[in-house]
Amino acid sequence: MGSCIFCDILAGKSPASMVYEDDLCAAFMDIHPITPGHVLVVPRQHCEGLADLPPELGAHLFQTAQKIGLAIARSGLRCQGLNLFLADGKAAGQQVAHVHLHVIPRFERDGFGLKFPPGYDNLPERAELDIISQKIRRRL
Ligand SMILES: [Zn+2]
């Protein structure tokens, strides 16, 4: 496992501005927030990504993120909407190899957003969607 900053935080060996803790997970402020109020929900168990995250633990992370999102919205922080975001893998933007679910308060013109690839405006044919859906369905 080596050194994992999130495991260190969960063990109390590194500081964090804690928002929530229970037996399965903790939530604390992102030290490099996209907007003020950006929280990370992190399982106590060291899992690198979705492939080794027990599904019931994933469900608990989502429930916790939902609860925290509602609290952010009621907190007085600038929050007209929320993103829940999970980056699974380096190519997806994951920077710490310990699963974490971002809860990001959003507001008009906050400067954050998803960038779409070239060609995004060209909609695929139904036949192409059917082929891709079959590839995925076969592996469920
Ligand atoms: Zn860890």
What is the DSSP secondary-structure string of 7-70? HHHHTTSS---EEEE-SSEEEEE-SS-SSTT-EEEEESS---SGGGS-HHHHHHHHHHHHHHHH
Examine residue 130 and state whether it is found in any structural domain, yes or no.
Answer: no
What's the 31 CA to ligand 1 centre distance in angstroms? 16
For the record, the structure tokens of 119 come out as: 């060609």
What's the 69 CA to ligand 1 centre distance in angstroms? 23
pLDDT band for position 112 (cuts 50, 70, 90): very high
Coil, strand, or helix at residue 105?
Answer: strand
Examine residue 126 and state whether it is found in any structural domain, yes or no.
Answer: no
Examine residue 120 and state whether it is found in any structural domain, yes or no.
Answer: no
What's the 47 CA to ligand 1 centre distance in angstroms? 7
Examine residue 44 and state whether it is found in any structural domain, yes or no.
Answer: yes
Examine residue 139 and state whether it is found in any structural domain, yes or no.
Answer: no
Residues of the domain holding 36: 5-115
Residue 35's CATH number: 3.30.428.10
H/E segment holding residue 106: strand 101-106
Query: Could you tell me the pTM of the whole model?
Result: 0.95
Task: Give me the mean pLDDT over the 119-128 stretch.
Answer: 96
89-107 tens-digit pLDDT: 999 999 999 999 999 999 9
pLDDT band for position 2 (cuts 50, 70, 90): low
Which residues are known catalytic residues? 100
6-48 tens-digit pLDDT: 999 999 999 999 999 999 999 999 999 999 999 999 999 999 9
Pick from 8, 12, 36, 40: nearest CA to 26 = 40
Q: How many domains does the chain have?
A: 1
